[in-house]
Every structure is written in structure tokens, then in C-alpha cells.
Amino acid sequence: MRALLFLAVLTLAAQPPTLLQPGITPPRVLKHAAPDFPVNASQLGHERSVVFELAISATGKVDSITPLPPAGFGFDEAALSALRKWRFAPATKDGQPIAVQTTIEVSFALPTRAKALKRQYNYQTYNAAITANDLESLHALSTANFPPAQFTEGVWRIVGNKFPANPAAGIKLVLAAVEQNYPAAVGQAGIYYYEGRHVPMDKEKGIRMMKSAAAQGAFVAQLYLGDIEPNPDNAAYYFRLCAIKGQSTCQTRYAQYLLQKPRAQWPEAIAWLRLASQQNHAEARKLLATHEPTLTDDERRRASELHPIPGK
């Protein structure tokens, strides 16, 4: 989705305030590259304004770009990717170019109602196709460049599930969805790059992609990052992200982390294990059977406050 589908508002304000004195001419945009509206944010109906602090040298080069503060949902990445393509005429004082700190605000507004309704229709059609196992409708949406359908068909063709196995065609579809910043596709493609499956191995690129997807809520990326992260505290951060969304494996992993912490955190671990056990997670049930009987009455009470025992 290109910039013509949203309003981009740009404001320049010199930093520090001394640059606002008479005789100071702020930087001037020479080349403007419009960002893409993040697909996931668009589908969820989110709008944001992202403010960046830029350090612009006396030659007009952008030395640094920092979001103030991060907006999430892919807006920062979309705006940052575009800003890196911008070119500036430097600020001047008394006719001489100078280095300055300046801010730029990029505002993302949703497209017209008709186009928003079209996206909503596509999503409803996609969900219905998945529910009814309607591969023809799914393929039609994929052909129309609807990223959830591209990703789903792509993965199914890679593994030979429902569609005939064709990894080469499947990875093309997954990467097409990546181009539209569809979080699930970005996360899965990140795993492929990290492992060197279907694409050339590039671990650094894979981790960057998975982190971007994890920040946008892709639970597969969150779980994978937690599994490969050597630092237990950092791993727990990713496990908790997808545990909150109800993923039983993540709930179990996070509970295991808590069981390695001081005893005061065990009631929370038991609460997570209860949630995972309700989804018939075998490992969670085993851990629950091992650790729950060791709790004190006070610890049981605190665990039940976090997650009551069904039927009690």
C-alpha cells in the first residue's frame, strides 16, 4: 500500500531552540520518498503520527534518525525506511551551512472508506475460505496480492499441505507477503533466513525480521526468538509476549522460567501452567502435576487469585 492511500504531514522544527533565532534557515527537503502504510496496522484500523529527531550535517546528510517515542505496529519501520531515502539542503546561518538537530513528524491516516471496506471484505472472505477449506477462494485472494492469503498459500505450498508441494512457488508467495510487511510472513521468512531453508542463510537478517514481526505480535516469531535466545531473561520476554495471547507452548515456557526464579514467583508459574493445561498441553500438565502439590496454602491462594481452578 503506497503513500497515496494516506496523508503524510511533515513539519520541521529546529533543535535546539537557538536555531529558531533570526538568520537561521531550517533544513529543506530536496527529495521526498513516501512510506508505505503498515499492512497489519491498516487491517486493524490503527492510525499514528511518528515524530523523529534527525541530526543533519552541514552537507545535508542525515547522520542519525531516532523515533520520539516509538509508535509500534510497524509505523516506525515504515517511516524510517522512507526517511533514509530523503535528501536535504542543509540549514544555514548567515548564509553558511551548519549542522542541526531537527524533528520531522509523519502522520499515517487510513485510506478512503471504500478502500477500507474492501480490505474488510477481503479479510472476511479469507476467514471464510480458511474455515470452509475453500482453496479456490484463497488462491484468488492470493493472486489479488492479499498478504494473509499469500502467506497461507505460500506456507501450504512449501510443506505440501492442501496444495501440491512446490517450495519454490511457496517461498515467492511468502516473500510477496513480506514485501507488504505482513507480520506472520515476516516472522516465518525470518526463520527461513535464520535456518537457511528455502532462502540463502542469513542469520542476522533472520533475527532482524523475527524481532520486527515479534514487535507486531507474530507469535511464531516470539516463540522462536525465545527458543534461540541464550539469555533466559530475554527469552522470557518473548515467551511472555505470546503467552499473553493464549499460546500454550509459550505459557509453558514462561512458567518454566518462573519456576527457576525465587519461590515468590511460583504461584504465577502455576497460574500459567493451569492455562496451558486447559489447552491439553502435555508438558504443562506434567509440570503442574509435579509442582502444584509442593505449594503452600498461601501460594495456592495466590495462584488461584491469578487463575482460579475450574469448578472451584
CA 285 to chain centre: 31
- Supply the pTM of this predicted model: 0.61
Q: How confident is the model at residue 267 (pLDDT cuts 50, 70, 90)?
A: very high
* Mean pLDDT (whole number) for 211-238: 93
CA dihedral 231, 237, 240, 245 (to 10 degrees): -130
Is the pLDDT assigned to residue 31 strictly greater than 50?
yes
Q: What is the mean pLDDT of the chain?
A: 84
Q: Coil, strand, or helix at residue 224?
A: helix
Q: What is the CA radius of gyration of the chain?
A: 24
Which has more pLDDT, 156 or 88? 156
Which range among 36-45, 64-73, 93-102 shows the weakest confidence by mean pLDDT? Answer: 36-45
* Confidence band of 17 (pLDDT split at 50, 70, 90): very low
Question: Is the predicted pLDDT of residue 67 greater than 80, yes or no?
Answer: no
The mean pLDDT value for 282-304 works out to 94
CA distance 244 to 303: 16
Alpha carbon distance 274, 295 (integer Å): 14
pLDDT mean over 185-197: 97
Continuous H helices in the chain: 39-44, 75-83, 113-132, 135-143, 147-159, 167-179, 183-195, 203-215, 219-228, 232-244, 248-259, 266-278, 282-291, 297-306
pLDDT at 22: 55
Instruction: Specify the pLDDT at position 6.
Output: 36
